[in-house]
Amino acid sequence: MSGLRYVYAVCRPFGTPLSAQLTGVAGVPPKQLTHHGLVAVVGHVPEEDFAERPLRAHLEDLDWLSATARAHQNVIDALTVVTSPLPLRLATVFLDDSGVRTMMEQREDAFLRTLDRLDGRVEWGVKVYAESPEASENTESPEASETTESSENPDSRPAPSPAKPVSGRDYLRQRRGQHRAHEEKWERAEEFSRRLHETLSGYAEETRIHAPQNAALSHAPGRNVLNAAYLVPRSESEAFVELVDRTKDDSPGLRVELTGPWAAYSFSGEDS
């Protein structure tokens, strides 16, 4: 058969068949390739897009990368419903089925160990943002009207913007004050994140801190101060989500975002 083999994940055999409607990268439905006690979830992809040179060029194209990442995630998501998959890095491409089988054979022991470690676990992502002072001073901002919680606590709101400076000295004093408030705000945000991470780590089997996200790509308001992933048993996920949810009352000017459940992307390393 022609084409290359795009491998999404390695799993233990799972009883339920994947939906016939499920499509993956390049719009191709994924298939299962069984070898000994392992299943690789594989899609046939065209050489014109996935051979080394075109793939490299495509990976620099944000639209292509985005579509491919979403298609990859679509397959992993479907797998997560029926099993605890071990996801592979984006764009892991083999020449043919026999290459996939050989790889599975070579890594069989490590795969089985990792699959045992991840069995029944999911990953949750938790991010903390310090909302920008500009946004919080502007009481007419759309965020302010959405956050009904903060109206319970009017004392915690930032002081109204100081009056227009009348002299250079006043101006400098104001600037110093703003600078100090800014510093204190970051310190508070970091301290909050540290405590939150400590608390959440107590409920997670493993944790991983990702680099803070770049606002230019995320378009998320505020500065990302914590970007962490937690490996949590499915059975304890509800409690974990509630725990994150409870942090909402803890600190003004901060925003916590929860994502998941994800397949254990951040915990697939064999070194742990």
Partner 1 sequence: MTVVERREIALVDLLDRLLAGGVVISGDLTLRIADVDLVRIDLNALISSVNEQVPSPWGELE
Residue 220: phi and psi, rounded to 5, are -85, 135
Residue 93 C-beta: closest distance to partner 1, Å: 5
Among the candidate windows 15-23, 30-38, 59-67, 231-239, which touches partner 1 by CB under 8 A?
Answer: 59-67
Q: Give the DSSP H or E segment for 242.
A: helix 237-246
Q: Does 70 bind partner 1 (CB under 8 A)?
A: yes
Q: Does 102 bind partner 1 (CB under 8 A)?
A: yes
Q: Does 81 bind partner 1 (CB under 8 A)?
A: no
Residues found in the chain = 272
Site string for partner 1, 168-197 (x = CB under 8 A): ------------------------------
Among the candidate windows 19-27, 133-141, 169-177, 211-219, which touches partner 1 by CB under 8 A?
Answer: 211-219
Nearer to partner 1, 26 or 174 (CB): 26
Match 């680099």 to its residue by tokens.
Answer: 211
Residue 174 C-beta: closest distance to partner 1, Å: 27
Residue 73 C-beta: closest distance to partner 1, Å: 6
Residue 37 C-beta: closest distance to partner 1, Å: 17
Residue 252 C-beta: closest distance to partner 1, Å: 6
**DSSP letter (8 states) at residue 259:** E
Give the residue among 30, 6, 28 at the shortest CA–CA distance from 79: 30
Candidate list 59, 172, 181, 239; residue touching partner 1; CB under 8 A = 59
Pairwise CA distance, residues 238 & 234, whole Å: 8
Q: Are 61 and 68 in contact (CB under 8 A)?
A: no
Cis ω on the peptide bond leading into residue 13 (within 30° of 0)? no
Match 């899609």 to its residue by tokens.
Answer: 43
Give the residue among 245, 265, 241 at the shortest CA–CA distance from 256: 245
Within 238-257, the residues that bind partner 1 by CB under 8 A are 244-245, 247-257
